[in-house]
């Protein structure tokens, strides 16, 4: 990702940080809470948590995990700090762009992320970066909203995307296909709401080459 796109992405999410909890925590977070608790219960080993945001998901993490949480937005991380400090385990926060991960290859056993690949500017490139930092056979766990195959949802999501993208996420990304394009093997796709909100589990190839 080029520097201008990186700066624009950071600025967009810095601007969203202030009202993010009000927009997210009352509605969507309550609604998805049972699914998220189950989703994060699979956390094991050395974990990269991508796109911490304001840290709303931290409440769903099982205790005593070893997690590095990253986000491109310093303002989001600022708000996440108190939640990270209260986590009963090891949770280090770092400002970082998924397209330019500063970790050596094969640093993590698992990557977890939620509502992120609607937002990163180059989803396949970002997913390839994640593949690099996972051990061979390492797991990618994603809780994402995506485009839909079904009318009228596909039409609505396509219409909403140009406006939504200016302030936040795209609404119509083909995220499962992007995961495969980035070289992962899909293990499981669970539809949480229609075919729009999904829990995806994928596996990095046994060899990290290529």
Ligand X SMILES: C[S@@+](CC[C@H](N)C(=O)[O-])C[C@H]1O[C@@H](n2cnc3c(N)ncnc32)[C@H](O)[C@@H]1O
**Which residues would be at the binding site for ligand X (CB under 6 A)?**
9, 13, 24, 51, 53, 56-57, 70-73, 76, 97-99, 114-116, 119-120, 169
| Complex with ligand X: residue 47 or 51, whichever CB lies closer | 51
- Using CA atoms, how far residue 91 sits from 9, 33, 53, 110, 131, in Å, is 24, 20, 14, 14, 21
Shortest gap between Cβ of 43 and ligand X (angstroms)?
15
| Complex with ligand X: residue 114 or 148, whichever CB lies closer | 114
The residue sitting closest to ligand X, measured at its beta carbon, is 53
Q: E strands, the chain, where?
A: 46-50, 66-71, 90-95, 108-114, 134-145, 185-193, 197-203
| Complex with ligand X: residue 127 or 201, whichever CB lies closer | 127
| Complex with ligand X: residue 23 or 156, whichever CB lies closer | 23
- Using CA atoms, how far residue 45 sits from 28, 115, 151, 189, in Å, is 28, 22, 41, 22
Shortest gap between Cβ of 151 and ligand X (angstroms)?
26
């Amino acid at each position: 990702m080029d520097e201008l796109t990186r700066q624009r992405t950071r600025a967009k999410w810095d601007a969203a940080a202030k009202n993010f909890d009000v927009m997210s925590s009352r509605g969507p977070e309550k609604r998805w809470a049972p699914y998220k608790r189950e989703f994060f219960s699979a956390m094991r080993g050395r974990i990269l948590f991508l796109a911490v945001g304001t840290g709303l998901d931290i409440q769903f993490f099982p205790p005593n995990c070893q997690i590095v949480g990253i986000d491109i937005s310093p303002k989001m991380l600022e708000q996440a700090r108190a939640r990270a400090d209260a986590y009963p385990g090891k949770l280090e926060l770092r400002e970082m762009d998924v397209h330019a991960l500063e970790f050596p290859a094969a640093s993590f056993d698992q990557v977890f992320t939620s509502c992120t690949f609607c937002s990163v500017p180059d989803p396949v490139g970002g997913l390839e970066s994640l593949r690099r930092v996972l051990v061979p056979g390492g797991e990618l766990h994603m809780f994402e909203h995506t485009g839909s195959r079904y009318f009228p949802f596909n039409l609505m999501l396509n219409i909403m995307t140009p406006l939504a993208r200016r302030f936040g996420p795209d609404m119509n990304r083909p995220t499962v296909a992007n995961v495969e394009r980035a070289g992962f093997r899909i293990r499981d796709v669970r539809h949480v709401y229609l075919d729009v909100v999904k829990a995806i589990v994928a596996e990095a190839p046994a060899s990290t080459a290529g």
